[in-house]
């Protein structure tokens, strides 16, 4: 039973390029969350999605960042025109429907480096 799969594990982008981070939730989980972790800091919520719906995007920067969770395929976090300040670890997590006591299952994260 595979856990949450994130890829790539490491991603290097030049300033101005686009970054695409992928996340496949754990089997049977219908809720996906994206978090960002800056060096030596905690996890900051970005967005919460269900299939084809964005439920809460209160943590997403207003520009350049977008997320989707299509009916088929993984969830995608997209960062356009990356800047040095976007360098961070991006974590995806998933949880099943109707089980708030479950917490999350996390992926291993994608470390984005902008050069």
Partner 1 sequence: AQTVTQSQPEMSVQEAETVTLSCTYDTSESDYYLFWYKQPPSRQMILVIRQEAYKQQNATENRFSVNFQKAAKSFSLKISDSQLGDAAMYFCAYRGYFGNEKLTFGTGTRLTIIP
Binding site for partner 1 (CB under 8 A): 31, 33, 35, 41-45, 48, 55-56, 89, 91, 93, 95, 97-98, 100-101, 103-104, 106, 108-109, 111
Q: Is the peptide bond before 8 cis (omega within 30 degrees of 0)?
A: yes
Q: Which residue, 10 or 78, is less far from partner 1 as judged by CB?
A: 10
Q: Which residue, 55 or 83, is less far from partner 1 as judged by CB?
A: 55
Q: Which residue, 66 or 108, is less far from partner 1 as judged by CB?
A: 108
Residue appearing with tokens 């939730």 = 25
C-alpha span between 23 and 5 (Å, rounded) = 6
Residues 6+ positions from 110 with CB-CB distance below 8 Å: 6, 7, 8, 9, 10, 11, 21, 89, 90
């Amino acid at each position: 039973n595979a856990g949450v799969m994130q890829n790539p594990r490491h991603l290097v982008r030049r300033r101005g390029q686009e970054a695409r981070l992928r996340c496949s939730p754990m089997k049977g989980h219908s809720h996906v969350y994206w978090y960002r972790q800056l060096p030596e800091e905690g996890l900051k919520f970005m967005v919460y999605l269900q299939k084809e719906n964005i439920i809460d995007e209160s943590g997403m920067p207003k520009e350049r960042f977008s997320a989707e969770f299509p009916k088929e395929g993984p969830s995608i976090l997209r960062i356009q025109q990356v800047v040095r300040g976007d360098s961070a670890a991006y974590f995806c997590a998933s949880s099943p429907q109707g089980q708030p006591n479950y917490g999350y299952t996390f992926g291993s994260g994608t470390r984005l480096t902008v050069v």
